[in-house]
Amino acid sequence: MPSFLPRFISIFHLIIIFFMSTASPLMAQKDKPVVPQLPINSEDSLVYYMEVIAIDNIDKMELFKRAGIWINEYYKNPSGLIEETDSVNGKIVLKPQFATYRTLKNDVKAQSAIVRYTLVLGFKDGKYRYEIKDVNLKAESYFPIEKLFDEQDANVADNFNTLNEADVMLRGLINNLKEKMNEPSVKVKKDEW
């Protein structure tokens, strides 16, 4: 038996032990839910989506009309959601809500929460702004969604799922709003021949 073989075997064992010891924590991390990355306002540490979008050569009233069309197309019962409409100052405030779901062990989807939020749309000549704030869960009393970020909570997986679903839903709303705000409020008819 060559003299280097025992040394090679002991090095081989060390390498296997090293990989097993580093792989165990990595496998355990797969089971641990990952904290969702929602936009947080640096001033108050609350979930907050906001953006100002420039649309050159479009006046405030046209943007206000476009937003009204979007609201009526996007929401099932828009009149029940609108808290304020002010065309003079260029502002619309809505208080909508949506359901989030979790998948049970038998692959059945079950509602996990109702998420409420405030959507504020502001308009000026050549630009508009959306703000999504006061995101909370429908409950007996006000329950801010930020409480779901607690990694020590016994329901951390469900909580993070709710946060992720809320983020997907709100980002989808934003994308839909941006798309519709680029469309004129009055469709121009082509000459009929």
pLDDT in tens, 122-139: 999 999 999 999 999 998
Residue 167 in domain:
yes
Alpha-carbon distance of 163 to 159, in angstroms, equals 6
Would residue 77 count as lying in a domain? Answer: yes
> Domain tally for the chain?
1
State how far the Cα of 66 lies from the Cα of 186, in Å rounded to an integer. Answer: 9
Residue 47 has pLDDT above 70, yes or no: yes
- Give backbone dihedrals phi and psi of 107, rounded to 5 degrees, phi first: 65, 20
Q: Distance between the two ends of the chain, CA-based, in angstroms?
A: 97
Could you list the residue range(s) of the whole structural domain that residue 109 is in? Answer: 59-181
33 within some domain: no
Q: Is residue 125 part of a domain?
A: yes
Asked if residue 150 is part of any domain, the answer here is yes
Residue 49 lies in a domain: no
Question: Quick check: is 43 in a domain?
Answer: no
The CATH number of whichever domain residue 165 belongs to comes to 3.30.530.80
pLDDT at 24 over 50: no
β-pairing, 49-54 with 91-94?
unpaired
DSSP bridge pairs for 137? 115, 143
Provide the β-strand partners of residue 40: 47
Alpha-carbon span 81 to 71, nearest angstrom: 10
For residue 12, tell me if it sits in a domain: no
Tens-place pLDDT, residues 68-106: 999 999 999 999 999 999 999 999 999 999 999 988 888
Residue 109's pLDDT band, with cuts at 50, 70 and 90, is confident
176 neighbors 74 (Cβ within 8 angstroms):
yes
139 — alpha (psi -120 to 50), left (phi > 0) or beta? beta
What three-state secondary structure class fits 184?
A: coil
d(CA 61, CA 119): 19
pTM (global) more than 0.95: no
Tokens of 154: 């016994």
